Structure 1
Amino acid sequence: MARFGAADLQREQFRRYLEKGNVLDMLTKVLVILYEEPEKPNNVMDFLKQHLAIGPEPSDALALRLEMIELRQKYQLQLEENKELKAKLAQFELPKEAGQTE
């Protein structure tokens, strides 16, 4: 019987912890929104993430993804330009043997 008392105490402490962090209120509100939704979403996890504001907003994620693509393209252009400039520089450099004789 002491086990049940300890388990109940732990459960109560955990419940208070969740209440203190407003977790229970947030979950309740989101679940009520989901319950009142006339057309239930196909992906419940996405619905919860969106309404709990977990992670970046979808528009932010899209903007970041587009920025990443743009930066990768710029990076590739810089690599190509660097390669071309090194090739041009190599044309003007003296061979090591010729440079040492002077």
Structure 2
Amino acid sequence: MAHYRASDSKREQFRRYLEKAGVMDTLTSVMVALYEQNEKPTNAMEFLKQRLGIAGQDCEDTEALQLEVNELRQRCALLVEENQELKTRLQRYEPKSEDGAAE
């Protein structure tokens, strides 16, 4: 019996967490909107995704963004390398002591 009560307690805590975060209200409103549709959509999951605002994220968009991120990372690596090379070249031409710079 103790195990059963612990399970109920965890469920109750989780339910309160969902209510406090507004998840229950949001899901309820989306489900009510689906219920009130005169013509039920052929794809209920797509309807839910649209109502929750996650339908616009396509695989193509994700792939394009990942390609852009990879290109930018490569460019950044090249710029870091170039920056390091330029610093090294600059150090060869700068005087090593401040006394030489003051003269």
Q: What is the aligned residue count?
A: 61
Question: How far 1:21 sits from its partner (Å)?
Answer: 1.3
Whether the 8 Å CA contact 2:18–2:24 is kept in 1: the answer is yes
Distance 1:46 1:28 in 2: 16
Cα distance change on mapping 1:35 and 1:55 into 2, 3 Å: closer
TM-score (norm. length: structure 2) = 0.53
Distance 1:55 1:2 in 2: 43
The structure 1 segments of at least 4 consecutive aligned residues displaced by more than 6 Å after TM superposition are none
Distance 1:2 1:20 in 2: 27
| Structure 1 unaligned spans of 5+ | 69-102
| Structure 2 unaligned spans of 5+ | 65-103
Q: Which residue of 2 aligns with 1:50?
A: 50
Q: Which residue of 1 aligns with 2:22?
A: 22
Percent identity among equivalent residues?
56
Q: Which residue of 1 aligns with 2:38?
A: 38
Question: How far 1:19 sits from its partner (Å)?
Answer: 0.8
- Please give the secondary structure, in 1, of the residue aligned with 2:41: coil
TM-score (norm. length: structure 1) = 0.54
Distance 1:9 1:54 in 2: 32
RMSD: 1.9
Whether the 8 Å CA contact 2:46–2:55 is kept in 1: the answer is no
Q: Which residue of 2 aligns with 1:86?
A: none
